[in-house]
Structure 1
Amino acid sequence: MADQQVVSSKVVKVDSNESWESLIAQANSQGIPVFVHFTASWCVPSLAMNSYVEELAMTYQNIKFLLVDVDEVKGVASKMEVKAMPTFVLMKDGVVTDRLVGANPDEIRKIIEASLPT
C-alpha cells in the first residue's frame, strides 16, 4: 500500500483496429481533436516521450490522447503511414492536420497549441 501513485492514464492505449475506429469515431462525434503517439516497446526515444505525452494529456483535457504500439496494432500504423518512431499525429474530424516524426517536445506543444480553438 506504499505506492499511492496509481493514477489512471489520460492517454488511451489502442489495442486493436476496432478500438482505433471506435475512439476516432467517438472523438469526431464530440468534435474534439485527437493526438496520437505512435510508439514501439523497443524504441527508447518513444518510451522517453510517454511521460511527456501523459503530462500534455492532463494539461489539454479537450484533446483525446491515444497511444498506438506499432507492433501490436500494425493495421493502424500502416493505414496512418507510420514509418519511424516516435511519430506524433494530430487529427481533426478524422483527418490528419499535423504530423511530426521524432521526439521534439517543443514542436509537439506548438502543434497542440495551434489546434486549440481561439
Structure 2
Amino acid sequence: MPVVDVYSVEQFREIVNEDLLTVAWFTAVWCGPCKTIERAMEKITFEFPTVRFAKVDADNNSEIVSKCKVLQLPTFMLVKNGKLIGYVIGANLDTLKRKIREIISNT
C-alpha cells in the first residue's frame, strides 16, 4: 500500500478510524533522521501490504501534531479503528517493524 500524504485534520481522522492498522509517520523536511529513513520507509510499505502508512508533515499539520502529542521527530503512531496502540519514537526502523509484526500477530 503506498504512503498517503496527510493534508488535513479531517483526512487524518478518516485514515486513523479505518479498520486497518495505520502507522502515522510524523516527519519534517528539516529533520535529519527523518531524511535518513525516507527511502527505507518506502520499502517498509511493501513489507507490510496490509498496513496503511500515513505521512504527516509536522510543519504543515501542527494541529494534528498537537492532538497526537508528538514531541520529537520522527515519531510513528500506530492506530487501528481510531484506537491508539502505541508509539515508536526516533528513527529506529527495526523497532517499528517489530512492533508492526507484534500487532499483526495479535489480531
Kindly provide the amino acid, as one letter, of the partner of residue 48 in structure 2. Y
Runs of 4 or more above 6 Å deviation: none
Kindly provide the amino acid, as one letter, of the partner of residue 94 in structure 2. D
Structure 1 partner of 2:71: 83
Q: Does 1:22 align with 2:14?
A: yes
Alignment of 1:2-81 (within 5 A): 10-25=2-17, 27=18, 31-81=19-69
User: How many matched pairs?
Assistant: 106
Shift of the alpha carbon at 1:22?
A: 2.1
Please, what TM-score do these two structures have when normalized by structure 1? 0.83
Shift of the alpha carbon at 1:110?
A: 0.4
CA distance in 1, matches of 2:79, 2:16: 9
Please, what TM-score do these two structures have when normalized by structure 2? 0.91
Aligned CA-pair RMSD: 1.4
Kindly provide the amino acid, as one letter, of the partner of residue 58 in structure 1. F
Q: Does 1:104 align with 2:92?
A: yes
78-87 vs 50-59, which deviates more?
50-59
Unaligned runs of 5+ in 2: none
Percent identity between the aligned chains? 28
Unaligned runs of 5+ in 1: 1-8
Kindly provide the amino acid, as one letter, of the partner of residue 32 in structure 2. V
Larger RCO (alpha carbons 8 Å, 6+ apart): 2
CA distance in 2, matches of 1:62, 1:117: 12
Secondary structure of 1:20's partner? helix
76-85 vs 108-117, which deviates more?
108-117
Contact 2:75 2:89 in 1 (8 A): yes
Shift of the alpha carbon at 1:24?
A: 2.1
